[in-house]
Chains A and B, each alone.
Chain A
Amino acid sequence: MTVEIGVEEIEDIALGATVLGTGGGGDPHVGKLVAKQAIEEFGPVELLPPDELDADDFVIPTAQMGAPTVSVEKLPGGQEAVASMERIERELGKTADATMPIECGGINSTFPFAVAARRGLPVVDADGMGRAFPELQHETFNIYGVSGTPAAVSDERGNSCLIETDDNDQLEWLARGVTVRMGGVAYVSDYPMTGAQVKETAIPGTMSLARDLGRALRLAEDDAMSAIREVTRESIYGEARSLFEGKIVDVQRRTERGFVFGHVDIDGLDSDEGSTMRIEFQNENLGATVDGSYVATVPDLITVLDRETGGPIPTESLRYGARVRVLGIRTPEIMRTPAALDVWGPASFGLDATYEPLADHP
């Protein structure tokens, strides 16, 4: 059965992506509106399960990259990511059969649907981060041996830049530089791959998971936690568990190298009374301690919800006095292998912790 993504599903994916974004991934608002307008204009988009791809199908992921302040002001023209995709098609002499998100949190969870609507292509129900991470090498595609290049970066004026590199860290470095020259935000197509490579390296089902989480949150009367638990129970992720409940008593932030670093301290309420949780973040939430001992770390998901409304709170909106519930979700096996932990385990973000997979909801 073909699953179609229309305007309502885009709303749900954007909301669900704020849970999977673990506090970061950028404001999904712009990505959502871009996708909505494209779907209104060109029609709904097919969501394609990765196991329905043929081994030699050709998939080109698409994304926006750059500074949040610019992305809310210089909105996309709409053709940029399509141009990046076409530049890779010209380079490789093949036409894309589908596009795919590189992450399932924040703005880039919905953005590829706009590209797909314009090109009349399906979106593969998968991504390369299984959450949000800050950089282009933070991809299962990279971890499991897919080359990020040839990659193309384009702006709204029709300028394009083709990037060829030996390794994917260099791709991130060069693409970031081009993005600055393009005015602080640009549109990238990278990790072009075959259907067989998608099946081997992508995290499957994350777009439909975001949609289901969003729909459950939208319909949940007042019990967001149960809604999220029910959806995650049926997924390749662990069942969401409540890690802590309390009141935010301190938030510290500093901006370095283009990232927002910091931590938030939460004093326990009810059954957590007397304890303090600290969550450290770099754009996204990285690790959570209770009274000094780690209870969850990357790559597992740590998401802060408003205790009353159940709405996910991004790191930039954390503030003193908010009553919150912190939930943890174990990421799928493919994100927890030794090779994966080398790229996004606690040590790679400077945390003094050993990764312990979160248990399911007790």
Chain B
Amino acid sequence: MTDYRIGIDVGGTNTDAVVMDGDDNLLAKTKTPTTEDITSGILSALDVVLDDSGVSEDELDYVMLGTTHATNAITERRGLNEVGVIRIGAPATQSIRPLLEWPDDLAAAIGNNVAILDGGHEFDGRLLNDLDEEQVRAQIREFADVDAFAVTSVFSPVRDDHETRVAELIREEVGDDVPISVSNEIGSVGLLERENATALNAALTSVASEAANAFVEAMDERGIDANLYFGQNDGTLMSVDYAIRYPIFTVASGPSNSVRGAAYLSAVENGIIVDVGGTTTDVGAVTEGFPRESSVAVEIGEVKTNFRMPDIIAIGIGGGSIVSTDDGVTVGPQSVGYKLTEEAKCFGGETLTATDLEVAAGTIDIGSETPDVDAEIVEAAREYVRERVEREVDRMKTSAEPVPVVIVGGGSILVPDDIAGASEVHKPDHYEVANAVGVAIAQVSGEVDRIYSLDEMDREEAIQHAKDEATDNALAAGADADSVDIVDVEEVPLSYLPGNAVRIKVKAAGALDH
């Protein structure tokens, strides 16, 4: 079996694609401009790498895609579902209604249908209030016109009974066609943030299913009969069905793909990854080959959420960054972005960019002309970039120990090879398409993040329960049963609560199911 696979990563500026064989050798790569209708950019990238690699359409087994559909839909408030947001927790929680802190236009875009109904649990799993099934049914009927439901119950990460039951009642009342998002499958403790993430997920299911259908059709047209996977923001893959149910997990999958790809290309399993793009540089951390997660609430479209997101710091420096000499020499955050080939001096434009400096210094050779730039300015700009990158690398570290640093992305040339605080600096081959490599080599994963009361079961039992559930989630996402391993177990005792509460996070990952 050849196992040819294509990895495609859609970024704000470029769509990158690679073809890899079953031994993860890279056969072809390309960088093409991202198009407004994302699909046509993907198809042209696909055509280029197929052509270059000599692999034919019918030899492809897998196509992996990292996209920005979901992120764009939230930012642009486009194509979002009208959502029935149901919270189970009364008489508690009524002092802060759902969507209270959402931007008005985003809340309006999902229809502003909110309800707080009886039910929920305490932190130790005791009942907070009974679920009132007649009240739930009446509310569902009142939300008759919504496109999707988002259900969040108090302490559902401890006990999901009420969310599960409400989902059953929705099925009974409105049938099988309306998507339902339940919060315990999306986020962790922190009701508002978990509810926000669940409502956003419910709002995105139509966008996700349209995007997925468009790709499946495009593949069919090209005569490609391959398995299609989507990249998710923990650096692993999910099946098309899974992606349609959990579109929120595709948000920020791009930086995660870069972290995975950089780790793979450099063979650095633990360290700091610097991905230099056209407009920004993303600094992230890799732990045992996977992106480190952020420990604080992350905002999506100005809404606070608490589901797992990669720990990434973005700084406004990239190949298209505008160089200013007004007040000392500075680089960015203004950028010519995707207009580099029109506006940068090396392409005959009027704007001095970071790329122009390197062309002037002779380190790269692109464009139509060599800008005339004072060597002192080049030196000062390089120092500026070095300082900013060094500072963010330092912030991503967890201690003063020097760690390996891997530099990838199209603008890698801007960052010097000797970075303070780095034990070694790697600029691996194929650095410019690390994100597409990252999605092409990705595994399929499942996660669990729950609170257990060790009064009810012992510690081993609780961890085994979490491991089993994480494995089931990985299988549901499309992993091969024989290859699934537990890759991470994290245990946080919640010692300020009685009842021996402990929060257990487990991640399982495996190869793609054949």
Contacts and interface: CB of A to CB of B under 8 A. Distances in A.
Interface stretch (A66-74, A144-152, A221-229): A66-74
Contacts of A76: 92-96
Nearest to A78: B95
A219 interface: no
B100 A70 contact: no
Given A73-B189, A322-B395, A183 B93 contact: no
B120 A78 contact: no
A258 B496 CA distance: 4
Interface stretch (A31-39, A97-105, A293-301, A326-334): A31-39
B123 A78 contact: no
Contacts of B96: 30, 33-34, 37, 75-76
Given A33-B96, A33-B101, A320 B154 contact: no
Contacts of B129: 157
A70 B95 contact: no
A74 B95 contact: no
A69 B100 contact: no
B89 interface: yes
B109 interface: no
Contacts of A70: 123, 497
Contacts of B498: 180
A38 to B, nearest CB: 7
A114 interface: yes
Contacts, number: 108
A320 B89 CA distance: 38
Nearest to A30: B96
Given A34-B95, A37-B96, A157-B91, A69 B123 contact: yes
Contacts of A79: 91
A77 B400 contact: no
Given A74-B120, A183-B123, A184-B123, A37 B100 contact: yes
B368 interface: no
Given A157-B91, A183-B128, A72 B400 contact: no
Interface residues of B, number: 38
A37 B90 CA distance: 16
A34 B94 CA distance: 9
B122 A74 contact: yes
Given A249-B400, A317-B296, A75 B192 contact: yes
Contacts of B397: 320-321
B449 interface: no
A156 interface: yes
A75 B97 CA distance: 10
Nearest to B391: A323
A18 to B, nearest CB: 15
B190 interface: yes
B394 interface: yes
A255 interface: yes
Contacts of B395: 320-322
Interface in B193-216: none
A233 to B, nearest CB: 31
A322 B396 CA distance: 9
Given A33-B100, A322-B395, A78 B122 contact: no
A36 B192 contact: no
Interface string A1-43: 0000000000000000000000000000010011011100000
A247 to B, nearest CB: 8
Contacts of A36: 100
Interface string B67-104: 00000000000000000000001111111110011000
A77 B93 contact: yes
Nearest to B157: A73
B91 A75 contact: no
B495 A74 contact: no
Nearest to A260: B496
A338 interface: no
Contacts of B189: 69, 72-73
Contact of B394 (A30, A68, A78, A321): A321
A85 to B, nearest CB: 15
A77 B122 contact: no
A156 B123 contact: no
A256 to B, nearest CB: 8
Interface string A251-273: 00001101100000000000000
Contact of A255 (B192, B396, B495): B495
A69 B496 CA distance: 9
A68 B97 CA distance: 20
B366 interface: no
Contacts of B399: 250, 320
Given A36-B100, A183-B128, A255-B496, A75 B123 contact: no
A70 B128 CA distance: 13
Interface in A73-130: 73-79, 114
- Going nearest first, the 4 A-B pairs with the smallest beta carbon separation are A78-B95, A321-B395, A156-B92, A75-B93
Given A37-B96, A114-B95, A259-B496, 10 more contacts: A33-B100, A69-B189, A74-B120, A77-B92, A79-B91, A184-B497, A247-B394, A249-B400, A258-B495, A320-B398
22 contacts: A34-B95, A37-B95, A37-B96, A37-B100, A70-B123, A72-B190, A72-B191, A72-B192, A74-B89, A74-B120, A75-B96, A76-B95, A77-B90, A77-B92, A77-B94, A78-B94, A114-B95, A156-B91, A180-B498, A255-B493, A255-B495, A320-B400
Interface of A: 30, 33-34, 36-38, 67-70, 72-79, 114, 156-158, 180, 183-184, 247, 249-250, 255-256, 258-259, 317, 319-323
